[in-house]
Amino acid sequence: MTKQRLQTDVVVLGAGLSGLTAARSLQQHGVEDVLIVDARDRVGGRITTVPRPGGGTFEAGAEFIEAAFVEVPALAAELGVEIVSVDPVTGLQDVRFSGGERLLEAEPLAAQPELMDELGPVYEALAEIAASLDPVHPWETPTARDLDRITLAAWLDGFELSPAAREVLETDYSFLAASPEEVSILYVAWFGSISHAETEEPAPMRLVAGGGPSAIIAALAGPLSERTLLDSPVLSVEHGDDGVTVHTADHTIDARAVVIAVHPNLLQRVSFTPTLPPARRRLQQRWLGGPGAKLFAVYPTPWWRERGLSGTATNTLGIASIMDMSVVGDGTEGILAGQIAGTSEAIVADTDLLADDERLKDAFREAIVAAFGEEPEEPTEVHVASWFNDVWSPGCATAPPPGAVSLLGPVLRQDIGRIVFAGAETGEPFCDWMEGAVLAGRRAGHAAARLVLRDAR
């Protein structure tokens, strides 16, 4: 088959939240002629759904609007998508496993208050590091190199913690999808400080009404559908002073500029002519992502509440956490959501488990029973949304190894001629997260529009 030759002002590589935001921003800056190209048969990237048999969906990827997010709610409002706050249910007990023992707690650590004496200084020290960092360019902080060579594991060693205290901290940070030996204290402090707003009271959960962040994707992608090529992995990009040419198996697309809205590590699969500068290539090798999975079990009622339990459980039989997500159901059914973070330790411990959805479902059911007791009735649905086998996503979280942030961070958002970088990882200051994706998309849309409009003069 001969390849189709197309022409456009800007090619946007990646139809995730960041690429779609960039395309919208380009159009808002007067550059109408954009073409979005994605490898998958759908838009949304790390935001997508699991369909439910009776209709409705669960969010398979991003779901929670953190208290510190500003741009995601603003974009949702522009698109007419509502964000709702859900107050935490009070008066119920959480389950936490410590050294394999099941503890019930109305407040965090209530069953082991002595741990606060050990953990307090650790949290304070981490907050101090976070406060010392430049939130947008942490690599420019004078202590960045020193902090980036200390792993989270080595830093925690300095506190001589009891195994129970250590377990609490390691569970806290497992959401990074990296083992404590695999990330630096610089990254942990930076990532934590930019994503979580400090609140005195437990913050209400913020969710996108009417289908989660996928509703934002649908509202963004709808008007751009005629300008979106799916099932089209980008294989190579030629770039020069006058323009770019983007190649897929079926298309050759000439444009004034390209916005690249994919995770840096995945860009290693795209070849560039001329080759990208060595620093950029090094960044792409070292900016790693970590996979994970979400699980959902649906019951006719939220039976755990009748037992005085909130549905929250941590450190549960390899399922890092379980929470009550009944709020996304029809109002009567009980929904438990589980999250697994693919740290190297977890992946190597049972590689087969993480690759096998049926075994994951069984493991989830076992974890639910261990946490909340025998189920009074069988779940009506159990779903696995696994990112372990997804070849077009780097995973759920980004966790650059020690040294990468301080040495390669300066390259992260550096555009190269007519190549403009977007993607959640380049968000200022939010690296990763939906907030980063929107910030980066807006920045890239503006930068690429400037290039095109300059050519037109």
Ligand X SMILES: Cc1cc2nc3c(=O)[nH]c(=O)nc-3n(C[C@H](O)[C@H](O)[C@H](O)COP(=O)(O)OP(=O)(O)OC[C@H]3O[C@@H](n4cnc5c(N)ncnc54)[C@H](O)[C@@H]3O)c2cc1C
Q: Which amino acid is at 285?
A: Q
Beta strands (DSSP E) in 267-353 are: 271-273, 289-290, 292-299, 309-316, 319-324, 334-341
Task: Give least dist CB 380 to ligand X, A.
Answer: 23
> Least separation, in Å, of the C-beta of 88 and ligand X?
16
Count of C-beta atoms within a 10 Å radius of residue 140: 12
Binding site for ligand X (CB under 6 A): 13-19, 37-40, 45-47, 61-64, 233-234, 261-263, 266, 269-270, 292, 294, 387, 392-393, 396, 423-424, 432-434, 437
Neighbours of 210 (CB within 10 A): 11
Output the smallest distance, CB 20 to ligand X, in A.
7
CA–CA distance, 381 with 298 (Å, rounded to integer): 5
Short-list 47, 33, 52, 49, CA closest to 75: 47
Query: Between 212 and 334, whose beta carbon lies closer to ligand X?
Result: 212
- Output 391 or 456, the one with its CB closest to ligand X: 391
What is the closest distance, in whole angstroms, from the C-beta atom of residue 268 to ligand X in the complex?
10
Nearer to ligand X, 46 or 256 (CB): 46
Strand partners for 221 = none
What single DSSP character describes residue 412? T
Cβ of residue 91: shortest distance to ligand X, in angstroms?
A: 26
Closest approach of ligand X to the CB of residue 140, in Å: 23
| Nearer of residues 228 and 315 to ligand X, judged by Cβ | 228
- The answer to whether the beta carbons of residues 425 and 439 sit under 8 Å apart is no
| Between 155 and 191, CB nearer to ligand X | 191
DSSP conformation class of 300: S
d(CA 395, CA 418): 28
CB of 24 to ligand X, least distance (A): 12
Rounded to a whole number of angstroms, the minimum distance from the CB of residue 96 to ligand X is: 21
7 or 268: whose CB is closer to ligand X? 268
DSSP state of 231: S
Q: Using DSSP, how many helices (H) and how many strands (E) does the chain show? A: 15, 23
User: What does residue 215 show for φ and ψ, rounded to 5 degrees?
Assistant: -70, -35
Q: CB nearer to ligand X: give 372 or 388.
A: 388
Least Å distance, CB 391 to ligand X, is 9
Nearest alpha-carbon partner for 26 in 420, 319, 314, 376: 420
List the beta bridge partners of residue 271. Answer: 236
Burial 95-105 (b: 16+ CB within 10 A, else e): bbbbeeeebeb
Residue 371 CB coordination number (10 Å): 25
Question: Which residue's CB is nearer to ligand X, number 165 or number 229?
Answer: 229
Give exposure, 405-430, as e/b (b: 16+ Cβ within 10 Å): bbbbbebbbebeebbbbbbbbbbebb
Where is 253: in which H helix or E strand?
strand 251-255
Query: Residue type for 401, please?
Result: P
Cβ proximity to ligand X: between 266 and 309 the closer is 266
> Is 383:328 a contact under the CB 8 Å cutoff?
no
- Which of 118, 432 has the CB closer to ligand X? 432
Least distance in Å: CB of 282 to ligand X? 19
Q: In terms of CB distance, is 155 or 387 closer to ligand X?
A: 387
- Nearest-approach distance from CB 285 to ligand X, in angstroms: 16
Separation of first and last alpha carbons in the chain: 38
